[in-house]
Amino acid sequence: MEYRELAVPGAFEITPRQFGDPRGLFLEAFKAGPFADAVGHSFDLAQVNTSVSAAGVLRGIHFADVPPSQAKYVMCAKGAVLDVVVDIRVGSPTFGTWDAVLLDDVDRRAIYLPEGLGHAFMSLEDGSTVLYLCSTGYAPGREHGIHPLDPALAIEWPTTARDGAPLTPLLSEKDEAAPTLAEAQLQGLLPTMEAVTAYLATRR
């Protein structure tokens, strides 16, 4: 596996080696030892989620209170999505920065987001199937969102699907009603860099 840290510090793109033969292919989707060596801490799996999305579906930007928040190791088993990580840590030198990784069933990359970051993705074809390995279970009272089309973030979402057809963003009612990054900060919803750093220190 190859690990590449993204423009948002602490988030990584993971590219596996694929071994193919006439029967198909094999790859290691996650390996604890190399992961901890590259990232600096272990990944404790508590829950695995799966979503299936039509082309244009836009999920996120989602995050959870720190502590314990929720680290995610995300893969696309079928189809393709543009997966985005956003630095929402107040006090971070890269606050408001985002980066993106194409997750698909060709290169079979993964993205890792530690606690305290925002996560979103857009599906690039019908039936895109995303797997989320999560460090903690879902807790509705601790979950929050930021509007993925916030002009201040200026995330460059795709406008065409994998087959070249035009894409129209399709959001849930909850995501459509989410505040902008600035509004979420004013509401005191965002984690601070200090709190995230202190919590991650307990996991090393």
- Active-site positions? 62, 132
Helix (H) or strand (E) holding 177, with range, is: none
Q: How many other CB atoms sit within 10 Å of the CB of residue 95?
A: 16
Say how far apart CA 3 and CA 111 lie, in whole Å.
9
Q: Are 189 and 64 in contact (CB under 8 A)?
A: no
Secondary structure string (H, E, C) spanning 123-160? ECCCCEEEEEEECCCCCHHHEEECCCCCCCCCCCCCCE
Question: For the chain, how long is the longest CA-to-CA vector?
Answer: 57
Return the percent helix, strand and coil in the chain, to nearest 5.
15, 40, 50
Q: How far is CA 165 from CA 27, 56, 58, in A?
A: 31, 10, 16
